Structure 1
């Protein structure tokens, strides 16, 4: 089954007839549906078709937004000023549209106070509540505790 470049159906013809007709029109024969009965082929300029596909892919890539994951490290016994500095940096990342991973590493005897670390993390999330949501709540993994924050989508 052959389809012309303008979409008109030319009917069923042999492979050699289709190639000869395409050669006369200075076009290529492109098999669109090889598994159909009979197989469907189309006359087209293959180079132009390839160029248009590449252009569509470029446009799709251009409209993509890359979201990166930034990390902020806290400690269970962090001072107020240090906490505010980390909070300010974390808010900058979230406002830019990046996801934020907040982590705490427990050293030595700090392992006995994991609840203090959880409080610090939840306090951090609470201070960012206007621009971010908690994607994953604080989880303990050995000596580390992680939490992920995601920026709130704009309602446009």
Structure 2
């Protein structure tokens, strides 16, 4: 007969209590897990509704195309810069080596003698035989003109071109200074303005002078003209009229423009002054004799 184990009430109650506690904890853990899962699902759904994915894709597309266009445009600019640099290098005086783009060229030898039109293969062979270099002389002719030169000749020619470039003055824009005052100006103020005008003229500025007519009815008609002549007389051998006095503003003012004398005008002025001094000395010698 099988043995039957009978437990007392004191042994059964603790076991039931522990099982109930385990089931309660398991239930709470399941509820907590379900809440977290629900929160994650609803949160993801809410974010998708708030920031729609198609909108972000549409917004990013133009930026991508813009970057592509900018890159392409930059590439075109780089190509243009390279072409300009290449063109500048082609026009510079330098040895072109053995890279002759034209098939037939007009050639001068190292002494300047005309060798006529030659095929580039013959030119290269001549360079090798005489140990010479080839430089462009006039690429605008047809066929373009080249010259065979030694390395020393190329160096000397570069030095000559550099020296002539430094000696040649760089032309710049002629600036114009403007000055306006009344014909009632005092002598002290007029002398001050005349000095200012002279300083501008010596710096090779043009000076536009506008003199307004005074309201004094007794003012002489030629007063403004006398003022212009006075200003010009303070700068003998320096300035002259670029534009002679003329009425402006409906006759209420007179304007003229002064400029610095050219080199030719300065030489002519010195010759005139020398002739006048010679005539004065001769006249004084006649009076003394």
Q: CA deviation at 1:84?
A: 1.6
Q: Are the counterparts in 2 of residues 75 and 106 from structure 1 also a CA contact under 8 Å? A: yes
Partner of residue 5, structure 1: 110
1:52 and 1:151 mapped to 2: Cα distance?
Answer: 32
Superposition pairs for residues 80-99 of structure 1, below 5 Å?
A: 80-94=187-201, 96=202, 98-99=204-205
Partner of residue 247, structure 2: 140
> Which has the higher mean CA deviation after the structures are superposed, 133-142 or 78-87?
133-142
Deviations 1:80-138 (A, max 9, x none): 211122123334444x363552422649x86x99x55455334433x336333323211
Deviations 1:21-76 (A, max 9, x none): 2255241242536535x6543113596445543332212128x7997655444322
Greater Cα radius of gyration, structure 1 or 2: 2
Q: TM-score, normalised by structure 2?
A: 0.39
SS state at 2:190 partner: helix
Q: Are the counterparts in 2 of residues 72 and 103 from structure 1 also a CA contact under 8 Å? A: yes
Matched positions, count = 149
Task: Give the number of the structure whose residues are more often helix, by fraction.
Answer: 2
2:209 and 2:114 mapped to 1: Cα distance?
Answer: 63
Partner of residue 133, structure 2: 27
Q: Are the counterparts in 2 of residues 2 and 41 from structure 1 also a CA contact under 8 Å? A: yes
2:235 and 2:135 mapped to 1: Cα distance?
Answer: 59
1:31 and 1:11 mapped to 2: Cα distance?
Answer: 14
Partner of residue 258, structure 2: 149
Distance 1:11 1:103, change over 3 A: closer
Superposition pairs for residues 119-130 of structure 1, below 5 Å?
A: 119-125=226-232, 127-128=233-234, 130=236
Distance 1:141 1:19, change over 3 A: farther
1:83 and 1:22 mapped to 2: Cα distance?
Answer: 72
1:82 and 1:76 mapped to 2: Cα distance?
Answer: 11
Distance 1:89 1:15, change over 3 A: same
SS state at 1:13 partner: strand
Q: Are the counterparts in 2 of residues 30 and 43 from structure 1 also a CA contact under 8 Å? A: no
| Match 2:183 to one of 58, 69, 76 | 76
Q: TM-score, normalised by structure 1?
A: 0.63
1:102 and 1:29 mapped to 2: Cα distance?
Answer: 50
SS state at 1:135 partner: strand
Q: Are the counterparts in 1 of residues 200 and 207 from structure 2 also a CA contact under 8 Å? A: no
